[in-house]
Amino acid sequence: MQYLGRNVIERLARFGYGARGIVYCIVGGLALLAALGRGGRADDSESAIRWVLAGPFGPVLVGLIAVGLFGFALWRFVEGLTDADRRGTSPKGLVVRAAHIGSAAIYTGLTVTAGGLALGLGQARSGDGMQDWTAWLLAKPFGLWLVALVGLGVMAGGVAFLVKAATGKVTDRLKLGPEQCRWAKPVGQFGYAARGIAFLIIGGFFLAAAWHQASSEVKGLAGAFAALRAQPYGWALLAVVAAGHFAFGAFGLIQARFRHIDAPDIDETDDAVLKALRPSP
């Protein structure tokens, strides 16, 4: 069972990749069914978790998902702050590490949501959090520029996903042989391409919110799916991108098993974080 990890953070990270993978498999599967007119709903990660909650053993399964998402958020934070993936301090490396810390914040929020649902709290949606904080940001000095900057950042993330898919560098950090990469790489490329398209659309929503100074313009993954569905042959576009999100989830399950994770152990993490934060002499 050595592959489960050498230490607590590595085990949590692997559990986290698996939990995130399951969530996106559900997101993509439900959106694909909606595109094909077979039921389902083209919605976001929270809706996928609520779908699990409504099924057999829902609270228990959602509780496990919450633990997994916490592990993923923790790994992203450690990864970004301690440079566990050896990204370095080049401009590109620092941008990637900053993106990982941002990802940690997003998945921490999803962890809180999943945990609340598992405990029987927050059964009804309490508004759109993305629109709420966008409205808060727009009310600040230079707020519309900050919202536009967020939009450009999200779109840059989308471009990065698309470049990663196009170059085939999705399996670089996986401990797989050439034969295994032959089937794993196309799954990852398809998944990253779909995520890239979704990020470009979501980033565009932020730019629209800045242009119109209206937080109501901001939408998440569900809005991206709806925008695709509204295009000519939208059902086909939605079906392709939904299938891509299912592939992204499946690739997450592959990462849970095979990703190279060099995480500091739990009792070494604060030292690693302090070392990362300490200015160089």
Tell me what the mean pLDDT of segment 130-143 comes to.
88
Tell me what the mean pLDDT of segment 89-99 comes to.
90
In this structure, is the dihedral angle defined by the CA atoms of residues 201, 193, 262 and 108, taken in order, positive or negative?
Answer: positive
Tell me what the mean pLDDT of segment 78-89 comes to.
88
Local confidence band at 168 (pLDDT 50, 70, 90 cut-offs): very high
CA distances from 273 to 28, 83, 95, 212 (A): 36, 9, 18, 41
Local confidence band at 275 (pLDDT 50, 70, 90 cut-offs): low
- DSSP bridge partners of 259: 174
97-131 per-position pLDDT tens digit: 999 999 999 999 999 999 999 998 765 555 567 88
- In contact, 244 and 195? CB cutoff 8 Å: yes
The domain locations on the chain are 2-277
Q: In the chain, pLDDT over 90 holds for what percent of residues?
A: 70
pTM of the predicted model, to two decimals? 0.89
The Cβ of residue 66 has, within 10 Å, a number of other Cβ atoms equal to 22
Give the pLDDT confidence score for residue 220 in this predicted structure. Answer: 92
- In contact, 197 and 241? CB cutoff 8 Å: yes
Give the pLDDT confidence score for residue 193 in this predicted structure. Answer: 98
Give the pLDDT confidence score for residue 129 in this predicted structure. Answer: 77
Give the pLDDT confidence score for residue 2 in this predicted structure. Answer: 43
Check whether 34 has a pLDDT greater than 90. yes
- Specify the residue for token string 């228990």: 60
213-248 per-position pLDDT tens digit: 999 999 999 999 999 999 999 999 999 999 999 999
The residue type at 272: A
172-216 per-position pLDDT tens digit: 999 998 888 999 999 999 999 999 999 999 999 999 999 999 999
Give the pLDDT confidence score for residue 270 in this predicted structure. Answer: 53
Tell me what the mean pLDDT of segment 62-72 comes to.
97
